[in-house]
Amino acid sequence: MEAEVVEAEIVLPTHLNFKRVQMYEKYPKGQARGRHWKHLKQIIQAENYQNYPPDEPNYVNIESPPPMHPCKRICDITGFEAPYFDPRTKLRYANAEVFKVIRSLPNDYVQRYLALRNAAVVLK
């Protein structure tokens, strides 16, 4: 290791005195590590919240509901108000100049703009 790296101590040392079980013992090299951690969705599923009374607050039922206000439509490119909608690319636009820009965008830009709004078509 280079001198300045050692001095700055940015690397985590492998053996720490205060630990009962060291990392390298717990996760020996070569084993597939980290693949067995459950993601949030799986954790929630495993919790079985439906077995408990619904009044009790738990991770799922404190989520907020969809909004009451109507959705505000803004132009995907400029951020202005967008009364218009392009059926071919499915982008919202504010005026004719923005429309020209939209129609001249290559396809991957269009998909990225849609992805901002979570409206892109994802082919799995």
Partner 1 sequence: MPFISKIERQTDYSQFDSTVPIVIDNGGSYFRIGWAGEDEPRVIFRNIVQRPRHKTTGETVTVVGDHNPALLRYFDCTRSGPRSAFDGNVVYQFEIMEYILDFGFDRLGADQSQIDHPVLITECACNPIQSRCRMAELLFESYGVPSIAAFGVDAAFSYKYNQQLGICNSDGLAICSGFMTSHAIPFINGEPAYEACCRTNVGGYHVTDYLKQLLSLKYPHHISKLTWEKVEDLKMEHCYIAPDYTSEVRIFQKGAKEAEEKTRCWQLPWTPAPAEEQPSEEELARKAALKERQGQRLREMAEAKRSSRINELENDIRGLEFLLKQLKQVEENNVPAFLRETGYASKQEIESNLAKAIQSLRKAKGEQVETEEKMDASMADKYNLVNVPDDVLTPEQLKEKRKQLFLKSTTEARQRAKQKRIEEELEREKQMKMEEEKRLENPERYLEDLRAKYRELSEKVEQRKRLKTNGNNTNGNQNGSGGVGRGERLNAAQRERMRLLTTAAFDRGKGEDTFGIKDEDWQLYKLMSRDNDDEEDEKSNEDEADLARVSSRLREIDPTFFPKSESGSSTAEPPRFRPLTKEDFQLILGVERFRCPEVLFQPNLIGIDQSGLDEMAGVSIRRLPCKNQGLEERITKSILMTGGSCQYPGMAGRLEAGIRMIRPCGTPITVVRASDPSLDAWRGASVYAAAMQFPNQTFSRTDYYEKGEDWLRRYQFNYTL
Instruction: Among 53, 66, 87, 96, indicate the residue that binds partner 1 (CB under 8 A).
Output: 66
Residue 53 found at the interface with partner 1 (CB under 8 A)? no
Binding flag, residue 21, partner 1 (CB under 8 A): yes
Q: Could you say which residues in the range 81-110 bind partner 1, by CB under 8 A? A: 81, 94, 104-109
**Phi, psi angle pair for 13, to nearest 5°:** -70, 155
**Least Å from the CB of residue 10 to partner 1:** 5
Residue with tokens 């940015």: 10
Rounded to 5°, angle at Cα 39 from 33 and 41: 165
Q: Distances in Å between the alpha carbon of 113 and those of 20, 26, 45, 106?
A: 50, 44, 32, 11
Q: Is residue 24 part of the contact set for partner 1 (CB under 8 A)? A: no
Least distance to partner 1, CB of residue 78, Å: 6
Residues 6 or more apart whose Cβ sits within 8 Å of residue 74: 80, 81, 82, 92
Based on the shown chain and the rule CB under 8 A, indicate whether residue 3 belongs to the binding site for partner 1. Answer: no
8 A C-beta contact, residue 112 and residue 89: no
Positions in the binding site for partner 1 (CB under 8 A)? 1-2, 4-5, 8-13, 16-21, 23, 26-27, 33-34, 37-40, 43-44, 46-47, 55-59, 62-69, 71-72, 74, 78-81, 94, 104-109, 111-113, 115-123
